[in-house]
Amino acid sequence: MKKKQTPVYLDDFEKEKLKKIAQEWGISQSAAMKRLIREYNAG
């Protein structure tokens, strides 16, 4: 079963932050977003 995906809307400032984080971690922006959400939900 496929997980339900929810679109995440970011402003230009947030997009730049996500881009920098993804580059630092050496992963794609979508993978960085998933990781950030997972870490946030973990507490």
Q: Average pLDDT across each block of 10 residues of the chain; the chain has 43 residues. List them in order.
A: 81 97 97 94 88
> Quick check: is 6 in a domain?
no
Q: What is the pLDDT of residue 9?
A: 92
> Quick check: is 25 in a domain?
yes
Q: What is the pLDDT of residue 27?
A: 98
Q: What is the pLDDT of residue 39?
A: 93
Q: What is the pLDDT of residue 16?
A: 98
- Residue 21 belongs to what domain range? 12-42
> Quick check: is 5 in a domain?
no
Q: What is the pLDDT of residue 8?
A: 85
Q: Is the pTM of this model over 0.85?
A: no
Q: How many domains does the chain have?
A: 1
> Quick check: is 2 in a domain?
no
Give the torsion sign (CA, 23, 24, 25, 30). negative
Contacts of 11 (CB under 8 A, 6+ apart): none
> Quick check: is 3 in a domain?
no
